[in-house]
Amino acid sequence: MAVSRFDILAAYRLMLGREPSDAEIDTWAAIPSLEALRQTFIDSYEFQALLERLHPATGERRLPLALPPLSIAWETDGASEQALLDYVEATWTALGNVEPHWSVLGSAHFKASEIAANRAEFYGSGAYDLGIIESVLARHGLRAEAFHRVVEYGCGVGRVTLHLARVFRDVLALDISASHISLAREAALESGVTNVQFRLVTGTDFGMNGPFDLWFSRIVLQHNPPPIIARILRRMFSLLAPEGLAIFQLPSYAPGYGFDVGGYLGKPNSHEIEVHCLPQAVVFALAREAGCVCLDVREDLDMEFPWLSHTYVFRRS
């Protein structure tokens, strides 16, 4: 017997500690039994991440306030910047060709060999990201209807994009991996989504060539070297429309982390997922350049200890 709406509500409240969106309820309604619902929740990316956060050996640990400075080169010349961007493109082209879904959400059941059975869960998880945006808007007394032109930076295979398209009028979805973009287009076509423009990031304008009202990026920026993160943010802040909003997640600290442009470009590309950070002071300085003010900054749980990650909300005056 198929599960009921009450069953789904109870599972979300008990296992995830939150209310589901209507889109999430619709996604889970196809589960054939309570046993399947329970097991799918246990295996889900969000529940496993919650377990990690609650585990006394990991989730309760926090970095001390007294932290030493890090050596992070975040500015470079044009040639090196292009070389770094080429490096990122090569990495994510390779990952997108081999493990497109797993490279977006690193759970074993999103591997290429398993994704067919878990595709609904993968795409359903994007509702959580939409929920982040909607909660930010609600906290600041804003309405989604006021934000017509939305950019998702690092759309991957469209996991979040499809949910954004149901709320916002026009969505521009950007990614540096051609295979990711191709799969995202297919997912949009299958879902009947027609208000999304998918664009491949191919140059130092990072696919952004006009003003937009809202910019969103989560678990994406960290996979770029610091000079590229800084250039993406500078470009984004400069194109954010007056009263426009930027919501993005980014690690700002990890003990022992450092970045040197020459040393980085001097090593072979292993085409593996990398994680980088950008100091908060740099983020705030880039925002000030464009006349953007910080509405909100919170330590989030998108990175495992000892990485320190924050979700930022900026508005352009």
In the prediction, which pLDDT does 59 show? 47
Domain membership of residue 225 (yes or no) is yes
Say whether both 12 and 87 belong to one domain: no
Domain membership of residue 65 (yes or no) is no
Say whether both 276 and 202 belong to one domain: yes
Q: Are 205 and 178 in contact (CB under 8 A)?
A: no
Domain membership of residue 53 (yes or no) is no
Considering the chain, what percentage of its residues have pLDDT values greater than 90?
77
Domain membership of residue 122 (yes or no) is yes
Count of domains observed in the chain: 2
Say whether both 33 and 171 belong to one domain: no
Say whether both 147 and 277 belong to one domain: yes
Give dist(CA 317, CA 243) in Å, integer. Answer: 6
Domain membership of residue 245 (yes or no) is yes
Domain membership of residue 248 (yes or no) is yes
pLDDT at 266 over 60: yes
In the prediction, which pLDDT does 25 show? 83
Q: Per-residue pLDDT averaged across 178-205, rounded?
A: 96
In the prediction, which pLDDT does 50 show? 67
Say whether both 268 and 223 belong to one domain: yes
Say whether both 39 and 93 belong to one domain: no
Instruction: State the amino acid at position 148 in one-letter form.
Output: H
Say whether both 154 and 269 belong to one domain: yes
- What mean pLDDT is reported for the chain? 92
State the residue range of the domain holding 13: 5-43
Domain membership of residue 235 (yes or no) is yes
Q: Per-residue pLDDT averaged across 217-230, rounded?
A: 98
Say whether both 264 and 132 belong to one domain: yes
Of 9, 1, 37, 188, which is closest to residue 121 (Cα–Cα)? 37
146-164 confidence digits (pLDDT tens): 999 999 999 999 999 999 9
Say whether both 35 and 122 belong to one domain: no
Say whether both 82 and 186 belong to one domain: yes
56-109 confidence digits (pLDDT tens): 444 456 788 889 999 999 999 999 999 999 999 999 999 999 999 999 999 999
CATH number, position 167: 3.40.50.150
Q: Per-residue pLDDT averaged across 121-143, rounded?
A: 96
In the prediction, which pLDDT does 287 show? 98
In the prediction, which pLDDT does 199 show? 98
Domain membership of residue 163 (yes or no) is yes
In the prediction, which pLDDT does 29 show? 80
Say whether both 35 and 83 belong to one domain: no
pLDDT at 173 over 50: yes
Q: Which residue has the higher pLDDT, 258 or 52?
A: 258
Q: Which residue has the higher pLDDT, 233 or 306?
A: 233
Say whether both 107 and 220 belong to one domain: yes
37-61 confidence digits (pLDDT tens): 888 888 777 777 666 555 444 445 6
